[in-house]
Chain A
Amino acid sequence: MEFGWSESEAAFRAEVRAFIAANLPAGWRTLVPGEEPYSDITLEFCRKLAARGWFAPHWPVEFGGAGDASPWRFAILSEELWSNGEPRGSQYMNVNWIGPAIITAGNEEQKRRFLPQIASGEMLWCQGFSEPEAGSDLAALKTSARRDGDDYIINGEKVWTSYAAGAHYCFLLARTGEAQSGGGAISIFLVPMNAPGVSVKVIPTMLAIHQIHHLVFDHVRVSEADRLGAENAGWGVIRDALADERVGTPRHMRATVVLDAVVAEAGRRGRLSAADNASIVEARAACLAARLMAYRFRQLRGAGQLEGEPYVARGAIVRAERAVAEVAANLGGADSLIAGSLHDGEFRTSLIAGLGGGAYEMQLNLIARLWLRLPKTA
């Protein structure tokens, strides 16, 4: 094992830091990732990253990537960006798993149509997964795509969808077979958000740092060319993609920044006591462990050797967010109620951490089954 970085990896991190410092306005570092998903600043930043060859370094060259075989440059990039308010906005998702899913499951025409635009930072996406009656039980989704010659007619609704108001396309899961067949009858559609019959509304929430939406698909006509992968074969594609969605976002890096900042501030103000030690060390430990477990996931995924690693890593990431939120609240006191404070942002994002990319409890189910080999629940 080797826990250090090579000279070239360390130099790359330094370059990325310098690039971020030179290209982001002051104050961005304190934003919670996802808070400004598609402002002019994020769009401009993504174009600059792409021009530098840093938007999708892990993608094959033919699709606009740099063809990096090693997972580490992209890991370093993601860590640095996530530690600085995630200036890619919603587009981290595109390079983490939407593009890779198209590379894996798409046909040549789809690769030509989508990948260059994603890789140049010009195309915005949202994911059409959850429905009013299908959250954690995603396979119970009801949105239907009914055949009509070479077309499909889509009807249904999606809820709690991030980034939908600015998205050009929706990575949509819809049922193309009988409801009782669960995950087996689900297909993926790449649906233009300006297609007739698609409507988007913001859902009012308590989050403040993040917007979620309600999407309605009312007789939306798409063609066979908009279907990603074979009919009824969508479940396998998204199961794979979701592993990246769960662990690919280094929430623990942002949590580490917050931890350091709130501890330093409390120290300056004389608010630190020995009674805080245990919670501070728990938070520090969780951030460090989550980082290592995310690395382990990336390395084993690259080698095709994954078992339960994505789920234990995700568990550690959620723990890190919660542990840091606890420290922030303890040390911040009433100041942690102030809108826009690091403390308040951490509390709110820690609430999202346990749900985004699949509920924490679903990860526990998967750990029990795949890692601990416990029997199926009755």
Chain B
Amino acid sequence: MDLTLSAAEQAIIELTAAATPARSKAGEFDREHWAAFEAAGLGSAAAGEAGLLGAAMAVEEGARRGSLTPLGASALVLPLFGQAGLAALTDVHDPDGGLVRYGADAELVVRIEGDHARLHRADPGQAKRATSHHVYPVGSPAAPTGVALASAPAERARARQRLGIAAEAVGAMDSALQQICAYVRGRRQFGQPLGSLQAVQHRLAELAIDLEMARWLARQAAWDDTGASAAVAAAFAARRARRFAWDIHQLAGARGFTLEMGLSFDTLRLQALSVEAGGAKAHDADAVALTWPATRAA
């Protein structure tokens, strides 16, 4: 047991920070960040010295810095297939019709088909881009043609996807909490900083507890690399992601809605992460089934 950063983990976080000098432009896949990730070998980080945990930390750090790239799918899911590249992940049984983050940008698509996850090459030119104001670019990849490049058990792909959701939500929650704390330190109402009011302080302290809980659950899940741990971490993060959006906007007042303040860059991402892969409801069902396999819900 050692819950301090190793040198390799520290290095991967610093590499991620160096590759993401500024927040990405909302709504667009950030090709510059991606090129820097690829140059630094982060696109397939799970194979590196820092392992899956290091890769998850890179995803967390990238999200904290507001980087819009599919690092989660690429660095956490693709290694299951022995591949590297620009990836998105869809579920053919998804009632939303395969609409996913980076779905129209990806060159590789992992399709969960029942018990199997299959990796296909995708042509971004054939994909359908959707209109969304949730910061991430979203779209539906074109249906694959030809045979799959590789396959893996669906539950492994699902676990890695959930790990990515959890780590990314932690990064976005961290960024949002830092922003709102800076705001309430400076914003004066009733002749005093908002942040000196206990009603505000307690609400933010509760969020700080939530954030640390989500962070440690995500890291443990990366260490365990099991379906149960990933489902618990994703369920917790997905529920907190939405609560963060509400609480933080409440404290920011109407100014929080302005693009100038930039808070919505995090809160809208959090809302998107909270519904991904079926949202907390789907993560919960798997978390219970995988944690207590002998127990069947009626």
Q: Which residues of A contact B (CB under 8 A)?
A: 1-5, 9, 72, 260, 263-264, 266-267, 270, 272-274, 276-278, 280-282, 284-286, 288-290, 292-293, 295-296, 299-300, 308, 312, 315-316, 319, 361, 363-365, 367-368, 371-378
Contacts and interface: CB of A to CB of B under 8 A. Distances in A.
Given A3-B1, A288-B217, A374 B236 contact: no
Nearest to B200: A374
Contacts of B297: 272-274, 276-277
Chain B binding site: helix, strand, loop or mixed by DSSP? helix
Contact of A374 (B204, B209, B220, B235): B204
A378 B197 contact: yes
Contacts of A2: 1-2, 223
B209 A315 contact: yes
A275 to B, nearest CB: 9
Interface in B243-281: 280-281
Interface residues on B, range: 35 or more
Given A285-B213, A293-B216, A312-B209, A274 B285 contact: yes
B196 to A, nearest CB: 4
Contacts of A292: 3, 216-217, 219-220
Nearest to B177: A372
A276 B287 CA distance: 12
A290 to B, nearest CB: 8
Interface string B180-220: 01001100000011011110111011101100111011011
B131 interface: no
Contacts of B295: 263-264, 266-267, 272
Nearest to A297: B3
A312 B209 CA distance: 5
A157 B160 CA distance: 58
B212 A364 contact: no
A281 B284 contact: yes
Interface in B157-193: 177, 181, 184-185, 192-193
Interface in B20-58: 53
Contact of A378 (B6, B53, B192, B283): B192
B163 to A, nearest CB: 14
A248 to B, nearest CB: 16
Given A263-B295, A272-B297, A280-B288, A285 B217 contact: yes
Given A274-B297, A281-B284, A293-B212, 20 more contacts: A1-B2, A2-B1, A267-B292, A272-B297, A276-B297, A278-B281, A285-B235, A289-B214, A292-B3, A292-B216, A292-B217, A295-B1, A315-B206, A363-B205, A368-B201, A368-B205, A371-B208, A374-B204, A375-B196, A376-B196
